[in-house]
């Protein structure tokens, strides 16, 4: 796999003469190195993207031709899935099966948006017999996109595919903790003969390269997925320039489990929602369960049993259920949160500590019960395999608990009563509500945050309008 930066249609030799070491989180072995982009590479990337935008390469491209190229990208992602998934697993830690699913998902995203290239219809607005008015969706220009480390391929594809449809050119920074696999996009874009300058991939540390990218004068839009703290810094840095930002941030997603729920289904969804997906390192993880007191004992007993059956291990072991955390820093962060939970008086049912395996960043699946809604583990995003359980007496109390954090990315409700599910969904402050399962998703479905979980929507047709702006054209008729 290429380790260089991809700028203006080519992988270029390093100008900074610096690189970044990439480690396998399962054992600390060195996976490889990636070239670090600094001032010269950054300027070249923005110059290429700006030139391609000013020449209207994407805007004037025939819709059918653009669709064909995007479908070729999807085909190539599937073609390179097996070899690239091994690299992604090594640098990110997820199971190879999960990584393969991520590449399949990325391919599906390009296929879906390829079908929309000729379906953005201008609107004619009637306003009397002597005027002619219509609106069109136009791109912002050069879109700076900063991708997180938990699902780098999927989130790379998500923002790039939409940008291609709308017409933004792209400068994108993959995560420094697992950057190598993202370079497959540069290889693919060259192979499908995407015009130069439309996609530019630059690598580097967030606190160095990331800041330089955000400060660059050629930025017209910023797409950021990550923590609210970093998003706040980006907003402050871009405030004077009034740069539009599209933000998907943290989450503290909760499931409300009513007494008429299928408890076995709720338990399976919990395991799938917090422990198995990348060791809980996902912004929509089920990190809270709000359970009616009549069924809480049954739920906890069954969840504890399922949790103890989970296999902790590296991503290259097909038997692994819970894979390593991304770094030693993240491992310590999760450890500290669990210590905080115990100190706050929560009941630690299982887990709560690191698992020693080959010097890897493994953490035991953890269940806390009787958690104070004002405690740190109840309110802050842990980003690990840790769930906090609360009990409730009535529907209003459940809603109060689920809405008690600063986040609002996703949530869920488990009940056999559709009317109760609708009543609950109407009152939860979150961008996505799941009913009787977790991760009920598709590329044609929009998602995004409320409150500190960000704004803008990704997925489906809605996302087109988060990556573009409306222009009105009006003419006075003679």
Round to whole Å and give the CA distance between 312 and 130. 71
Q: What is the CA radius of gyration of the chain?
A: 23
254: its two tokens: 């909760």
* Dihedral angle computed from the Cα positions of residues 352, 21, 230 and 173, in that order, rounded to the nearest 10 degrees: -130
- Give whole-number Cα distances, 206 to 37, 210, 212, in Å: 11, 4, 9
Q: What is the pTM of this model?
A: 0.96
Please count the other Cβ atoms lying within 10 Å of the Cβ belonging to residue 311: 11
Q: Which residue in 95, 103, 119 sits closest to 26, CA to CA?
A: 95
Q: Which residue in 221, 55, 215 sits closest to 143, CA to CA?
A: 221
Per DSSP, helices labelled H in 172-254 are 184-191, 211-215, 228-238
Does residue 229 have an active-site annotation? no
Q: Can you give the pLDDT of all 478 residues of the chain as single tens digits? A: 889 999 999 999 999 999 999 999 999 999 999 999 999 999 999 999 999 999 999 999 999 999 999 999 999 999 999 999 999 999 999 999 999 999 999 999 999 999 999 999 889 998 888 999 999 999 999 999 999 999 999 999 999 999 999 999 999 999 999 999 999 999 999 999 999 999 999 999 999 999 999 999 999 999 999 999 999 999 999 999 999 999 999 999 999 999 999 999 999 999 999 999 899 999 999 999 999 999 999 999 999 999 999 999 999 999 999 999 999 999 999 999 999 999 999 999 999 999 999 999 999 999 999 999 999 999 999 999 999 999 999 999 999 999 999 999 999 999 999 999 999 999 999 999 999 999 999 999 999 999 999 999 999 999 999 999 999 999 999 8
Neighbour-count burial for 173-185, b at 16+ CB within 10 Å, e otherwise: bbbbbbbbbbbbb
Task: Write out the DSSP string of 271-339.
Answer: IIIIITTGGG-STT---EEEEETTTHHHHHHHHHHHHHTPPB--TT-TT-SB---S-HHHHHHHHHHHH
Phi, psi values for residue 333, rounded to 5°: -60, -45
Round to whole Å and give the CA distance between 166 and 446. 16
Phi, psi values for residue 113, rounded to 5°: -75, -20
DSSP 3-state assignment of 376? helix
Which residue among 36, 91, 102, 248 is the active-site one?
248
Which residue among 99, 178, 283, 338 is the active-site one?
283
Phi, psi values for residue 165, rounded to 5°: -65, -50
Does residue 248 have an active-site annotation? yes
Half-sphere exposure of 299 (CA within 13 A, CB side): 32
């Amino acid at each position: 796999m290429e380790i260089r930066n991809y700028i203006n249609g080519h992988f270029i030799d390093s100008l900074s003469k610096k690189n970044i070491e990439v480690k396998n989180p399962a054992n600390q072995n060195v996976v490889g190195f990636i070239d670090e982009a600094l001032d010269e590479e950054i300027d070249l990337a923005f110059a290429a993207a700006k030139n391609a935008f000013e020449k209207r390469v994407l805007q004037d491209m025939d819709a059918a031709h653009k669709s064909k190229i995007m479908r070729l990208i999807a085909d190539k992602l599937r073609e390179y899935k097996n070899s690239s998934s091994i690299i992604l697993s090594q640098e990110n830690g997820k199971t190879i099966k999960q990584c393969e699913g991520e590449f399949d998902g990325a391919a599906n995203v390009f296929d879906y948006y390829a079908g929309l290239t000729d379906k953005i219809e201008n609107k004619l607005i009637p306003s009397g017999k002597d005027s002619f008015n219509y609106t069109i969706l136009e791109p912002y220009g050069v879109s700076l996109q900063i991708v997180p480390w938990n699902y780098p391929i999927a989130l790379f594809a998500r923002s790039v595919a939409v940008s291609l449809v709308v017409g933004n050119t792209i400068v994108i920074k993959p995560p420094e903790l697992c950057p190598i696999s993202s370079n497959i996009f540069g290889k693919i874009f060259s192979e499908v003969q995407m015009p130069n300058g439309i996609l530019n991939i630059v690598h580097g540390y967030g606190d160095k390269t990331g800041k330089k990218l955000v400060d660059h004068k050629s930025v017209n839009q910023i797409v950021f997925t990550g923590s609210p703290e970093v998003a706040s810094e980006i907003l402050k840095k871009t405030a004077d320039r009034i740069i539009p930002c599209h933000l998907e941030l943290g989450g503290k997603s909760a499931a409300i489990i009513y007494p008429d729920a299928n408890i076995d289904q709720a338990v399976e969804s919990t395991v799938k929602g917090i422990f198995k997906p990348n060791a809980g390192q996902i912004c929509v993880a089920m990190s809270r369960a709000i359970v009616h007191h009549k069924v809480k004992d049954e739920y906890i007993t069954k969840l504890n049993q399922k949790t103890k059956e989970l296999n902790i291990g590296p991503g290259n072991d097909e038997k692994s259920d819970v894979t390593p955390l991304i770094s030693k820093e993240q491992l310590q962060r999760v450890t500290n949160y669990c210590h905080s939970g115990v100190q706050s008086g929560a009941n630690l049912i299982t887990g709560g500590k690191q698992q020693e395996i080959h010097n890897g960043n493994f953490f035991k699946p953890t269940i806390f019960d009787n958690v104070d809604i004002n405690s740190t583990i109840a309110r802050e995003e842990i980003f690990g395999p840790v769930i906090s359980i609360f009990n409730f007496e009535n529907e209003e109390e459940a809603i109060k608990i689920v809405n008690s954090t600063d986040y609002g990315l996703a949530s869920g409700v488990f009940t056999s009563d559709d009317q109760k599910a609708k009543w609950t969904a109407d009152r939860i402050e979150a961008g996505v509500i799941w009913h009787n399962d977790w991760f009920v998703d598709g590329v044609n479905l929009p998602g995004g945050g409320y409150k500190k979980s960000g704004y803008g929507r990704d997925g489906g047709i809605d996302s087109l309008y988060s990556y573009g702006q409306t222009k009105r054209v009006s003419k006075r008729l003679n």
